[in-house]
């Protein structure tokens, strides 16, 4: 038994309401169960109940045991003074308000069908990665798709919240924020943190000063990343070292320079080596002026894709890292890489901007772009595919990843439309 199950039972009124009464004997009628509150305060707001012949409007609080009222210190919290009904699985002690009156309490342990509780426990205790996999086929496409939509918007809003935190750290500077987040996305998980630190160590205003000088731009990025540690017979490397030493002194960059050991090469394909990614990021910065405005104006995925279609300098067409020539010409920033930047950075940026200015068109823009990007392909998407839930584009795959990570893995089945549909009592 969990409190979330009791929330579910109350929210959908899946209990026997015949001859309902309080633990003190008064008759109880549920006129309005209230609205689930996901913020601080009582569990359900705007509820209405009738106790004997008197109607009461206020909040509902739910606990497994009535003593939870005191355990959670609601007796000392003014936010709980308007609670008109305490819903519990069982009453282990009476609860009193500050004025000494007893808090109306109803118990549900004898009013919930045993089959419903058993079905819930079987579902959340299923060791399978997707707990409802045996019943998934029973759920209609409409419910599945609506839950995927809900999950992907939850994912986008969470990521947008992270963007707004970075914006706050940058004192409302959108250009700097977009620059830092795009830099992090070029790290592709393994090198996300050093890329983010690199962007913070080289403010975007400084990048703009040298954007039209390719060798200076690359010297700043590679030098501050810690890759320009010594001269060599490599003429390109030697030139960057010389450029960086001058710029380092000019801008006093030594205190924020990264250590080369912070970058990860192990178990990466050469195409994902951080040296090549830094070169590609330099090419992006060089080819795109006013990156924030460019992203806002990119109404279609094709436009975004063109922003991310850039050619690094000639050296990086034949090298994955300094001083070691590749056996064949290196391909540019590939389609899969562009799609990941769109999914992980550009879509959340658009949602964050839309939310910050209450301009829903940018959220719609993010949705359109995700629906134009190919579906991701990974272990999670494969699991869903085996259940007959195909992923057509990135909007689907992002929703399925969110559903798996934050509902299935956490056993939040009662907060999932699919789980709720499976558990719904037949008579309901």
DSSP 122-156: HHHT--SSSTTTTTGGGS-HHHHHHHHHHHHHHHH
CA angle 244, 245, 247 (to 5 degrees): 60
Residue 167 has what pLDDT?
97
Residue 426 has what pLDDT?
62
- Whole-angstrom Cα distance, residue 323 to residue 216? 19
User: What are residue 81's phi and psi, to 5 degrees?
Assistant: -70, -20
Asked whether 165 and 344 are in contact (CB, 8 A), the reply is: no
Q: Where are the domains of the chain?
A: 3-112, 123-169+374-428, 173-349+356-370
Q: How many CB atoms lie within 10 A of CB 227?
A: 20
Asked whether 117 and 401 are in contact (CB, 8 A), the reply is: no
Residue 38 has what pLDDT?
83
- pLDDT averaged per 10 residues in sequence order, the chain, 428 residues: 91 94 96 92 96 96 96 93 96 93 96 92 93 94 96 97 97 97 96 98 96 96 93 88 95 95 94 96 94 93 93 94 90 93 97 95 96 96 95 97 97 94 76
Q: How far is CA 337 from CA 201, 318, 359, 373, 388, in A?
A: 24, 19, 29, 12, 27
Per-residue tokens: 368: 């359109």
**Is beta strand 83-90 parallel, antiparallel or unpaired with respect to 44-51?**
unpaired
- Whole-angstrom Cα distance, residue 15 to residue 167? 47
**Taking the CA of residue 403 as centre, how many other CA atoms within 13 Å lie in the half-sphere pointing to its CB?**
28
Output DSSP code: residue 424.
-
Residue in 422, 425, 384 with CA at minimum distance from that of residue 138? 422
User: What are residue 128's phi and psi, to 5 degrees?
Assistant: -65, 150
Residue 332 has what pLDDT?
86
- Whole-angstrom Cα distance, residue 313 to residue 288? 15
**Is beta strand 105-107 parallel, antiparallel or unpaired with respect to 28-32?**
unpaired
- Whole-angstrom Cα distance, residue 144 to residue 295? 32
> Alpha helix (H) ranges present in 190-328?
192-201, 204-209, 214-225, 235-251, 274-287, 291-296, 301-307
In this prediction the pTM is 0.86
- Whole-angstrom Cα distance, residue 385 to residue 263? 35
Asked whether 74 and 80 are in contact (CB, 8 A), the reply is: yes
Residue 231 has what pLDDT?
67
Strand partners, 321: 324
- Supply the angle between the helices 360-370 and 347-356 in degrees, to the nearest 10: 170
Residue 203 has what pLDDT?
96
Q: How many CB atoms lie within 10 A of CB 296?
A: 18
CA angle 202, 204, 205 (to 5 degrees): 105
- Whole-angstrom Cα distance, residue 414 to residue 266? 41
Residue owning tokens 């060791």: 127
Residue 233 has what pLDDT?
84
Burial class (CB in 10 A: 0-12, 13-18, 19+), 171: exposed
Per-residue tokens: 249: 């002194």
Q: Which helix (H) or strand (E) holds 59?
A: strand 54-65
Residue 428 has what pLDDT?
46
Asked whether 350 and 363 are in contact (CB, 8 A), the reply is: yes
């Amino acid at each position: 038994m969990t409190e979330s199950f009791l929330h579910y039972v109350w929210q959908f009124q899946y209990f026997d309401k015949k001859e309902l009464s309080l633990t003190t004997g008064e008759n109880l009628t549920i006129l309005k169960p209230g609205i689930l509150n996901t913020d601080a305060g009582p569990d359900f707001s705007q509820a209405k109940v009738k106790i004997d012949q008197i109607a009461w409007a206020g909040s509902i609080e739910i606990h497994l045991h009535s003593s939870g009222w005191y355990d959670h210190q609601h007796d000392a919290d003014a936010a709980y003074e308007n609670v008109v009904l305490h819903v519990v699985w069982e009453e282990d002690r009476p609860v009193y308000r500050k004025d000494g009156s007893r808090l109306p309490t109803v118990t549900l342990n004898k009013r919930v069908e045993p089959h419903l509780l058993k079905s819930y426990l079987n579902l959340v205790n299923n060791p399978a990665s997707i707990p409802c996999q045996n019943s998934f086929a029973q759920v209609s496409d409409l419910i599945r798709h609506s839950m995927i939509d809900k999950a992907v918007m939850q994912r986008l809003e969470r990521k947008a919240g992270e963007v707004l935190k970075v914006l706050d750290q940058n004192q409302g500077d959108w250009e700097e924020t977009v620059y830092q987040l795009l830099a992090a996305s070029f790290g592709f998980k393994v090198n996300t943190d050093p890329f983010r630190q690199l962007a913070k160590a080289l403010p975007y205003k400084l990048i703009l000063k040298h954007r039209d000088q390719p060798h200076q731009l690359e010297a700043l990025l590679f030098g501050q990343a810690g890759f320009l540690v010594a001269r060599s017979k490599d003429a390109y490397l030697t030139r960057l070292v010389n450029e960086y030493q001058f710029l380092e002194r000019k801008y006093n960059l030594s205190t924020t320079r990264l250590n080369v050991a912070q970058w990860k090469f192990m178990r990466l394909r050469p195409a994902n080596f951080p040296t090549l990614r830094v070169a590609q990021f330099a090419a992006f910065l060089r080819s795109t002026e006013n990156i924030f405005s460019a992203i806002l104006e990119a109404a279609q995925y094709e436009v975004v894709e063109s922003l991310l279609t850039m050619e690094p300098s000639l050296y990086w067409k034949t090298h994955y890292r300094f001083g070691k020539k590749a056996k064949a010409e290196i391909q540019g920033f590939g389609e899969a890489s562009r799609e990941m930047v769109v999914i992980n950075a550009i879509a959340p940026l658009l949602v964050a901007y839309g939310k910050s200015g209450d301009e829903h068109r940018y959220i719609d823009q993010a949705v359109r772009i995700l629906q134009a990007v190919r579906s991701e392909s990974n272990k999670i998407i494969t699991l869903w595919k085996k259940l007959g839930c195909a992923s057509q584009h990135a909007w689907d795959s992002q929703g399925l990843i969110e559903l798996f990570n934050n509902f299935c893995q956490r056993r939040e089945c009662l907060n999932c439309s699919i789980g709720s549909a499976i558990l719904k009592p037949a008579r309901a």
